Amino acid sequence: MINKPINESTTRLIHGGQLNEIAELYSIPLKKWLDLSTGISPISYPIPNIPENIWQQLPQTSDGLIEAAKRYYCTENINATSGSQAVIARLPNLYLNYTNKSPSQIDVWLPEVGYKEHERSWCDAGFNIKHYNDLPSCEDLTLYSIVVVINPNNPTGELHQQRTLTDLLKKIEALSGWLVVDEAFMDVIQPNQSIIHLTENKHLFVLRSVGKFFGLAGIRIGFLSANQYWLEKLKAMASPWEVNGPAQFITEQALNNHQWQSRQQQTLITLSTQLEELLTTTFLKPFNKGEGIKISISGCGLFKTLIHPQATELFQSFCRQGLYVRLCDENNALRFGIPNPKQYKILAKLLAQHCHS
């Protein structure tokens, strides 16, 4: 499954996690695969007993959940959504519904490399797409510019400091634009570089995901932090039962459980460091004295990304071994999800076999 540029495939993007299709493609039964294709923690928040009435009743937004989210994310301006993906899909319409501007006149700046659902959303709505490698400068930005920052970036792991984004917000506010910061992977960053505490500002939107750090991508819950004006408008665009009751119940407990959160932090640091060391030994050390071969490793506590000139060949060869990682959109890198200790042993064995083949 090789990635296509966005304009060749506006219907569906590949993000990892499509093991069924890969297993069929390589004719290897599902249970024989080691699936490290996502950036979701391999250790998830334990599912508590859920009272029967939560399953039976239509979900209403739980005050307890919002209070827990305010404390965990350190903001008063927050709403639950069915995954941060739901916000990514709705932001362009939110903009168009409540401003009287034509999308083709508005520049939307997106990272050249990064989670492509942002681009798809703004592009499909007719906005003027621009790409950046380094954040756009004052000279780049025009009136009403919208800048999307994924912090830390998926898959590069690049992290912008709080200070840098605070300065960018000032510039954008002066141009009556929007700054959209996707902090889906921020929970593992120490010290925290979130700018969620600034969302009283009407020009700032911060997205948070529960799926990654808490390892609960399947329950489909995330958060948007923005000025109350925008939160109300977005609520009006959402479905009446936006987030299911069990997801709200579990997430309230997860957000309140500080002991579990700090254990999770420690575990992810340990496991991601081990993964980085394994990738270094396998792919970087053999080339230490090499002749300018451009291989590098980046990432964060939820994934590690190997930039490699033979990424596509490696991806295919790994698939033949039953190892599924994420071939990045540019076909120049492989993103490895963090393996749990059992998965780590299998990965180490597969990589050793790979080196000797």
Interface residues with ligand PLP (CB under 6 A) are: 15, 83-85, 115, 150, 154, 182, 184, 209, 211, 217, 222
Name which of 92, 15, 86 is nearest 247 in CA terms.
86
- In the bound complex, what is the minimum distance in angstroms from residue 136's beta carbon to ligand PLP? 19
Q: Which is nearer to ligand PLP, 154 or 305 (CB)?
A: 154
CB within 8 Å of 187: residues ≥ 6 apart: 212, 213
- In the bound complex, what is the minimum distance in angstroms from residue 146's beta carbon to ligand PLP? 16
**Burial, 354: exposed, middle or buried (Cβ in 10 Å; 0-12, 13-18, 19+)?**
middle
- In the bound complex, what is the minimum distance in angstroms from residue 91's beta carbon to ligand PLP? 12
What's the rounded Cα separation, in Å, for the pair 22 and 91?
Answer: 32
Residue by residue, DSSP assigns 212-252 as: TTTT-GGG--EEEEE-HHHHHHHHHHS-TT-S-HHHHHHHH
For residue 191, say if its preceding peptide bond is cis, omega within 30 degrees of 0.
yes
**Nearest residue relative to ligand PLP (C-beta):** 83
Q: Which is nearer to ligand PLP, 182 or 187 (CB)?
A: 182
Q: Which is nearer to ligand PLP, 62 or 84 (CB)?
A: 84
Q: Are 297 and 276 within 8 A, CB to CB?
A: yes
- In the bound complex, what is the minimum distance in angstroms from residue 291's beta carbon to ligand PLP? 35
Q: Which is nearer to ligand PLP, 222 or 301 (CB)?
A: 222
Return the DSSP state at 82. Answer: S
What's the rounded Cα separation, in Å, for the pair 313 and 332?
Answer: 10
CA end-to-end distance (rounded Å), the chain: 23
Q: Which is nearer to ligand PLP, 248 or 321 (CB)?
A: 248
- In the bound complex, what is the minimum distance in angstroms from residue 256's beta carbon to ligand PLP? 19
- In the bound complex, what is the minimum distance in angstroms from residue 150's beta carbon to ligand PLP? 5
Q: Are 268 and 260 within 8 A, CB to CB?
A: no
Return the DSSP state at 280. Answer: I
- In the bound complex, what is the minimum distance in angstroms from residue 154's beta carbon to ligand PLP? 4
- Token pair recorded at residue 205: 């939107």
Q: Which is nearer to ligand PLP, 221 or 271 (CB)?
A: 221
- Token pair recorded at residue 301: 């506590």
Q: Is 1 strand, coil or helix? A: coil
- In the bound complex, what is the minimum distance in angstroms from residue 114's beta carbon to ligand PLP? 7
Residue 316 to residues 5, 22, 26, 325: CA-CA distances in angstroms? 19, 10, 9, 10
Q: Which is nearer to ligand PLP, 136 or 211 (CB)?
A: 211
What's the rounded Cα separation, in Å, for the pair 23 and 14?
Answer: 15
Q: Which is nearer to ligand PLP, 184 or 243 (CB)?
A: 184
Q: Is 50 strand, coil or helix? A: coil
Alpha helices in the chain (DSSP H): 19-25, 52-56, 63-73, 84-98, 117-124, 162-174, 228-237, 245-256, 258-279, 311-321, 341-356
Q: Which is nearer to ligand PLP, 141 or 184 (CB)?
A: 184
What's the rounded Cα separation, in Å, for the pair 238 and 86?
Answer: 9
- In the bound complex, what is the minimum distance in angstroms from residue 80's beta carbon to ligand PLP? 11
